[in-house]
Amino acid sequence: MIPKAESLHTEFKPSFSDEAIISLLAFSNSKGGVVYIGISDNAEVKGVNVGKETLQNWINEVKIKTTPQLIPDAELIIIEDKKLLK
């Protein structure tokens, strides 16, 4: 179940980008939180194209672009027949 709106501990991003990485960093430097990839700012489920190695590639990109390295927990979820990354 996804939250209905963004909050201090929840961020929605329509796609994986540097903005998503910035949100992950902000959460890691505070009390934590969850970034959902594939959801618009108004909580509309858009989904993302995720291939066999996409998830690992995104995790690797986060590791490469952060110092010290941030290694996020990642989970692929399906809502309304659309793939999201949590």
pLDDT of residue 33: 95
Whole-model pTM: value is 0.92
The three-state secondary structure class of 37 is: strand
CB 2 within 8 A of CB 12: no
The three-state secondary structure class of 85 is: strand
Q: What is the mean pLDDT of each run of 10 residues along the chain (86 residues)?
A: 92 96 94 95 93 92 94 92 95
